Amino acid sequence: MKLIFASHNQNKVLEIQNILGGRYDLISLNDLSFHDDIPETEETLEGNSLLKATAIHKQFEMPCFADDTGLEVEALDGAPGVYSARYAGSNKNAEDNMNLLLKNLANHSNRKAQFRTVITYKTNQQLMQFEGLIQGEIISEKKGEFGFGYDPIFVPNGASKTFSQMTMSEKNKYSHRSRAFEKLRSFLESK
């Protein structure tokens, strides 16, 4: 089955292909030579995910899905949340985002946080949303060399390593994204 993943992020594409397995032919926006940026103008993860899936489905008229993910930090009233990718500015620099988050948490003892992913699946006949969530904590210094985004400073509950210290298969045992995509996979396989 061919599925468009409405993302330019090759790290995410590899991660999701690993979760979905060989039964699906995952097509990224790069594969389609679609290089436009779809502005994330909604105030929720659900809204941004829907916006991206709808735009790509309209353009290519194939089954597609899009995701939006946010890191929600308890001591910062859920920030950066929907603004996670552009927390430190519109250049979407992961290092800058992590540095700003660590700075903003410097005087907080509460380091509880959660990653939340919302996926929107869109076809001509269907529109579905799936959520994945993982709780954990923000550590005070970056650790690890794998992953992307906030992975070097997030340790999921039940683990002793950051996402960035884990292999892809280890991360997928915990990951918010893998939990949401497992729900999508179950839905696709039930059809």
Catalytically active residues, by annotation = 68
C-alpha span between 148 and 34 (Å, rounded):
22
C-alpha span between 164 and 141 (Å, rounded):
12
Going by their DSSP bridges, the two strands 112-122 and 64-73 should be labelled as antiparallel
The secondary structure of 102-136 as a DSSP string is HHHHTT-S--EEEEEEEEEEE-SS-EEEEEEEEEE
Nearest to 119, CA basis, from 3, 23, 37 = 3
